[in-house]
Structure formats: C-alpha cells, structure tokens
C-alpha cells in the first residue's frame, strides 16, 4: 500500500462509507470501496465503528427513516469530521 493510496483513497472511502452501507452507490463503486476496506486496516477500523453506529441507530429507531434533510446534514457533518481527523494525523 502506498502513501498516495492511503491519502487519496482513504479520504474517498470514508466520505462514501454511508453510501456503501446504505447501498446507495453503484455496484462498481461498491466493489472499489469493499476492496479498499479489505486492504486498508485504518479504514476497516473506521468502517467497523460506522457499522456499529448504524446498527445502534437501527435498533433505537426501528423502521423509522430520517428525513432527507437530516440525512444530508449528518453526512456533511461526518465528512467534516473525517477531514479534521486526517488533518490532525498529519506529521508536524
């Protein structure tokens, strides 16, 4: 695994992990994300956390679905958090 793989692909995968979990991306993109998760342990750990959060929400909310606006706001906020974590991991 190269540094470029880590920096670029990890950011993309973590940004799209909810689309992957919700089956809201193309089959080709799902294959790319799954392959990355299988090969990248930091992203796999992050994915594991995301899966647990999703399972907890499902247990608490049952079959209720969140309004589209709320889903969009949460995804945007989670993307910001991913960027903040990546910036704090940079050396220096």
pLDDT beyond 60 at 7: no
> Is the separation of the CB atoms in 58 and 87 below 8 Å?
no
- Residues 24, 68, 10, 49, Cα dihedral to 10°: -100
37 pLDDT higher than 50: yes
The domains of the chain are located at: 3-89
Of the candidates 80, 92, 89, the one whose C-alpha atom is nearest the C-alpha of residue 6 is 89
Helices marked H in the chain? 3-4, 10-21, 27-39, 41-61, 68-89
Residue 53 confidence (pLDDT) above 50: yes
**Could you read off the pLDDT of 76-87 as tens digits, one per residue?**
887 776 655 555
Length of the chain: 92
3-state class of 21 per DSSP? helix
Percent of residues, the chain, with pLDDT higher than 70: 76
């Amino acid at each position: 695994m190269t540094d470029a793989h880590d920096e670029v692909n990890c950011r993309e995968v973590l940004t799209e992990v909810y689309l992957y979990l919700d089956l809201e991306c193309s089959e080709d993109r799902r294959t790319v994300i799954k392959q990355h998760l299988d090969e990248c342990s930091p992203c796999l750990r992050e994915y594991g956390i995301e899966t647990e959060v999703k399972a907890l929400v499902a247990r608490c909310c049952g079959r209720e679905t969140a309004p589209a606006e709320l889903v969009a706001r949460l995804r945007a906020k989670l993307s910001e958090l991913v960027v903040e974590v990546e910036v704090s991991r940079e050396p220096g």
